[in-house]
Amino acid sequence: MSKIVDAATAVASIPDGSTVGCVGVIGWVTPDALLKALGDRFRKTTAPRDLTFYFPVGTGDAQGIKGMDHVAQEGLMKRIVSGSYINPTDPLTGKRPELMRLIRENKIEAYSWPLGATMHWLREVARRGPGYMTRIGLGTYIDPENGGGRFTARSREDLVRRIEFEGHQYLFYPTWKLDTVFVYASSADEEGNLSFENEALVSSNIALVLAAKAHGGRVIAQVRQAVPYGTRSASEVRIPGVFVDTVVVDSSMMMTTGVKFEPAYFSGKRLPLSHLPPITMSADKIIALRAAKEVRKRELSIFGFGVAADVPLVMAEQGTFENGVLKDYWFTTEHGSYGGIVMPGWQFSANLNPDAILDGIYQFDAIDGGLCGFAALAFAQFDRAGVVNVSKFGAANPGAGGFIDIAESAQRLVFAGTFTTGGLDVAFVDGKVRIVKEGKVRKFVEKAEHITYSVIGGVKRGQSACVITERAVFEVTTNGLILTEVAPGIDVRRDVLDKMEFTPWKVADDLKLMDEGFFLTRPR
């Protein structure tokens, strides 16, 4: 008997009080039809109620691919645990995602775990282990001494503990079962065998399936197409049908935000680099150009969301990868795409023209094992004590994503972002930068609102780190920040030191100018 049904039927038997896990990476591999069907069921029937949702990664864009926002309803959602949250405003409505409102207004229990923990925890659930134990995250916001990952006052349960084992401190994440999981694949046959031949990412699909089945849970898959049994090679099938209970086919689903289908994201074809989007002259471009100077050949380099993801694009624009040189640059993100070009914005997470795509759990084995020697990451706040914050600030609650795992495990770190934010306007004239309008929000603050990572702590362990902005570059030392470079046209006192809430440890005696070529509206 075929396992293929419609989405409403697939979610009709999910009971009150159960736990639902779901794959998804922004718009990528997001079973949006299933999440929508569950949200629609609650709107029509007020059932099921009081569900706990487990999203290893922020899922959907809260716009065309709403993802987790479909189920962000009081009464339906009691608790959410996620590695990240989708936070930007909708350009059409000007509103932030509904899930962010529920969190800000303390309407639900909300927790945010580092993405590596959300992935590796699934492995422990699948093997019926007592929990996941790690040193990654000690001293950060996920540490119970700093809140235990709670994002709302309603979140009272200790989902993470600090324990001692053989004389060392660890964070321990006890396991609990997943009753139903939503996964996403390219194809399924009537027996439920799932393949990923047309996907840019695998993410946590396999781990979610095994975690659910280990405790008698149910697996519902959304796929792009149904194929006859026996028409694919066994090596293409990544999830055996014996583990899949129900399949929903949605041939109209988007590949990701703004992309209906593009084989270049899984190298079903390869696009010339001339197809890459042009990069307009901006503060972000300046930052990416300067950060590109830190990238080395044949060093596995991982790029985070935000301006850091622009670095490979500006390198391509400069012609760095011509004549087959791209293969000498090893680029990846936290989601397992290797080689090719890291993409920015809503296409972030997948690479264009990749060489390989690694399962999400194994990708965090690689990250936590220190295999990514260089990392470029964004920052929202950087404080006097060397704490960087990207997880919770102002009205934004994005969580850390893979930031903590990456920052703690790389050898060389670049933190990239504008000097201020909230209305910053800069102009570029004759190779110089001019601050037309200063941002309302300072990013170099006396004390960060959230502890995502202690950069000075990492430097004390042997890491090297620098902070790159559109107007200044700092080296991070065990004593604090050293101002090492300023942009042409920038006044050190007026535009840098007076716009910080603390004084850097020192200004370098041989303070350098950033490369004038970065600031030319036409490359020289």
**Catalytic center residues:** 334
Exposure string for 193-221, b = 16+ CB within 10 A, e = fewer: bbbbebbbbbbbbbbbbbbbbbeebbbbb
Find how far residue 373's CA is from the centre of its chain.
19
Q: Which pairing describes strands 331-332 and 453-454: parallel, antiparallel, or unpaired? A: unpaired
How many angstroms separate the CA atoms of 336 and 462, rounded? 26
Tokens representing 363 are 């990708």
Q: Which of 266, 254, 302 is nearest to 406 (CA)?
A: 302
CB atoms within 10 A of CB 412: 18
* C-alpha distances out from residue 344 to 276, 310, 354, 484, Å: 11, 6, 15, 28
For residue 510, which phi and psi values (nearest 5 degrees)?
A: -105, 50
Report the alpha-carbon distance of residue 167 to residue 187 in Å, rounded: 49
Q: Which residue has the tokens 């596995």?
A: 300
Q: How far apart are CA 481 and CA 490, in angstroms?
A: 18
Q: Amino acid identity of 159?
A: L
Asked if residues 256 and 26 have their Cβ atoms less than 8 Å apart, the reply is yes
Helices 115-126 and 205-213: crossing angle in degrees, nearest 10, is 40
Helix (H), strand (E) at residue 486:
strand 480-486
CA angle 78, 82, 86 (to 5 degrees): 100
If we measure between CA atoms, which residue out of 379, 365, 372, 505 comes closest to residue 453?
Answer: 379
b/e per residue 329-340 (b: at least 16 CB within 10 A): bbbbbbbbbbbb
CA distance 25 to 203: 8
Residues whose CB falls within 8 Å of the CB of residue 111, separated by 6 or more in sequence, listed in order: 79, 80, 81, 82, 148, 149, 150, 151, 155, 159
Given a contact cutoff of 8 angstroms between Cβ atoms, the answer to whether 496 and 471 are in contact is yes
